[in-house]
Amino acid sequence: MRRVELAKKVLSENARLAAELRERFHQNGVLCLNLVSSPGSGKTSLLEQTLARLPQKSRVAVLTGDLQTENDAIRLSHFGFPVKQITTGGTCHLDAGMIDHHLADWDLADLDVLFIENVGNLVCPSSYDLGEEAKIVLLSVTEGEDKPLKYPSIFFKSEVAIITKMDLLPYVPFDMEKLIENANTVHPGIQILKVSCATGEGLNAWLDWIEMRREKVSPSRAVAIT
Amino acid sequence: MRRVELAKKVLSENARLAAELRERFHQNGVLCLNLVSSPGSGKTSLLEQTLARLPQKSRVAVLTGDLQTENDAIRLSHFGFPVKQITTGGTCHLDAGMIDHHLADWDLADLDVLFIENVGNLVCPSSYDLGEEAKIVLLSVTEGEDKPLKYPSIFFKSEVAIITKMDLLPYVPFDMEKLIENANTVHPGIQILKVSCATGEGLNAWLDWIEMRREKVSPSRAVAIT
């Protein structure tokens, strides 16, 4: 019982801090997106392709989480936008305190979009609100169409499911209709985008979605990201 | 600090129970293998192909973990061996207590090999000893050769790394030499097996490894599993 009470306390402290972050994002008109997936589903690749397509004037930044390495920040730093690595030292998820800490020397008034790349884990990150406007779950076609049923929490909490590695579809037994059915069973109406970072398929639709969502957060802002 | 102390207490209670399980496995000459990977790397597929190749007389059983569904136990029950689902209800890993509980009505004296399929998660299961003889980490070629460096704990603790979905190698930018280098950086001498459940590649080597390992645990037992 002590364990349950303590877990509740940790999560309620996280929720309090996440609410503060969300308020700061809103005040500054920042669209904050929290990307969650299994290891190797392509979060970093999607962010690389996203940053590569944004005009240099875009006011975009990335916080990227990992257990140990700084590899993802190195990969993402080539595009000229601010990028910071959050190394969790083994912790299986990002939490609101880590986001708050790593934002300390950035001025949110300078940003339109903040991407957060969570630790590769389809389970634990779904329990930790980071103050984001929306969670985005990524699932590659090689992982199987059953995953929304097996990992329902993250699919329930995500506004969009991005199906990645569409270029591998001809080579794997992935049933797209069943995936759409499974995702809608867990989260009726969830938006599904299909992308391939290898061929570029679906990336424009993803950028359009970001822009649509950014306009909702800050309708009066003149400078679009795309 | 209270959180750290409590986490230590939970882990030390788990370690105590895992030591008891390990002793029971040894007394009964049972080879217990704990399979860990990301969601969708192919743990269930590997077990399906393994069970399909075993003689019906083999004394083999499976405990399979999942957050919510019984899908994996249903898939694995077609081969005539005892299979039990452990549904964690959202918990991100199996622990020794769950194993102990689900073994209650099986007689270990009837078994030579017990496969445990952990929850799909490359992070948290590495912290929980289940009393297994060996951890086995699976990584599919679609996940990328950088994963041993990014998720070092599970690669450090696993006796074997099984590289799955080898049939997809021609279609993905996976550098096998680099993977071997990365895995050996984290765990010098780790055994690496390459398999494809689609083509059957490497499955005999995996079965040979199981038999070699089973003989070590119970050298006097006459009935081999293969």
What residues of B are in contact with residue A124 (Cβ under 8 Å)?
92, 121, 123-124
Token pair belonging to B188: 């010098």
What residues of A are in contact with residue B3 (Cβ under 8 Å)?
6, 10
Residue A2: per-residue pLDDT:
58
Residue B225: per-residue pLDDT:
60
- Pairwise CB contact (< 8 Å): A124 & B124: yes
CB B96 within 8 A of CB B103: no
Does residue A177 carry a pLDDT above 90?
yes
Q: Which of A60, A103, A100 is nearest to A80 (CA)?
A: A60
Measure Cα distances from A104 to A33, A98, A148 in Å. Answer: 18, 10, 35
Does residue A225 carry a pLDDT above 80?
no
Neighbours of B166 (CB within 10 A): 20
Please give the mean pLDDT across all residues of chain A. Answer: 94
Gap between the Cα atoms of B193 and A73, Å rounded:
31
Poorest-pLDDT segment among A3-7, A32-36, A59-63, B100-104: A3-7
DSSP per-residue letters across chain B: -HHHHHHHHHHHHHHHHHHHHHHHHHHTT-EEEEEE-STTSSHHHHHHHHHHHS-TT--EEEEEEESS--HHHHHHGGGSS-EEEEE-TT-SS--HHHHHHHTTTS-GGG-SEEEEE--S-SSGGGG---S-SEEEEEEEGGG-TTHHHHSHHHHHHEEEEEEE-GGGGGGS---HHHHHHHHHHHSTT-EEEE--TTT-TTHHHHHHHHHHHHHHH-TT------
Residue A1: per-residue pLDDT:
46
Interface of B with A in 162-221 (CB under 8 A): 165, 167-168, 171-172
pLDDT per position as a tens digit, A19-37: 999 999 999 999 999 999 9
Q: What's the mean pLDDT in A219-223?
A: 64
Residue B219: per-residue pLDDT:
75
CB-based contacts of A93: which residues, under 8 Å, 6+ apart?
A118, A119, A121, A124, A125, A127, A128
Helix (H) or strand (E) holding A192, with range, is strand A191-194
Q: Which residue has the higher pLDDT, B10 or A63?
A: A63
Q: Using CB atoms within 10 Å of the CB of residue A150, give its burial: 0 to 12 exposed, 13 to 18 middle, 19+ buried.
A: buried
DSSP per-residue letters across A69-102: --HHHHHHGGGSS-EEEEE-TT-SS--HHHHHHH
Three-class secondary structure of residue A149 per DSSP? helix
Does residue B221 carry a pLDDT above 60?
yes
Taken as a whole, chain B contains a residue count of: 226
pLDDT per position as a tens digit, B58-93: 999 999 999 999 999 999 999 999 999 999 999 999
Residue B5: per-residue pLDDT:
73
Task: Flag whether residue A87 sits within 8 Å of chain B, measured between CB atoms.
Answer: no
Residue A221: per-residue pLDDT:
66
Q: What's the mean pLDDT in B128-148?
A: 98
pLDDT band with cut points at 50, 70 and 90 for residue A226: low
Q: What's the mean pLDDT in A80-101?
A: 96
- Pairwise CB contact (< 8 Å): B123 & A124: yes
Q: Which residue has the higher pLDDT, A3 or A184?
A: A184
pLDDT band with cut points at 50, 70 and 90 for residue B226: low
Residue B1: per-residue pLDDT:
46
CB-based contacts of B131: which residues, under 8 Å, 6+ apart?
B17, B18, B19, B20, B21, B22, B24, B25, B32, B96, B99
Does residue A8 carry a pLDDT above 70?
yes
Three-class secondary structure of residue A169 per DSSP? helix
Does residue A198 carry a pLDDT above 70?
yes
pLDDT per position as a tens digit, A143-159: 999 999 999 999 999 99
Q: Which of A2, A142, A147 sits opposite B165 (nearest CB)?
A: A142
Helix (H) or strand (E) holding A196, with range, is none
Interface test with chain A among B5, B38, B46, B85, by most A beta carbons within 10 Å? B38
Residue B168: per-residue pLDDT:
98
pLDDT per position as a tens digit, B180-216: 999 999 999 999 999 999 999 999 999 999 999 999 9
Helix (H) or strand (E) holding A22, with range, is helix A2-27
Residue B201: per-residue pLDDT:
98
Q: What is the dihedral of CA B66, A173, B82, B55, to 10 degrees?
A: -150
Residue A11: per-residue pLDDT:
82
Residue A5: per-residue pLDDT:
73
Alpha carbons within 13 angstroms on the beta-carbon side of residue B56 total 3
Residue A218: per-residue pLDDT:
83
Amino acid (1-letter code) at residue B112: D
Residue A10: per-residue pLDDT:
81
Task: Flag whether residue B88 sits within 8 Å of chain A, measured between CB atoms.
Answer: no
Token pair belonging to B94: 């199996």
Global ipTM: 0.92
Counting one residue from chain A and one from chain B, the pairs whose CB atoms sit within 8 A come to 116
Please give the mean pLDDT across all residues of chain B. Answer: 94
CB A140 within 8 A of CB A165: yes
Does residue A122 carry a pLDDT above 70?
yes
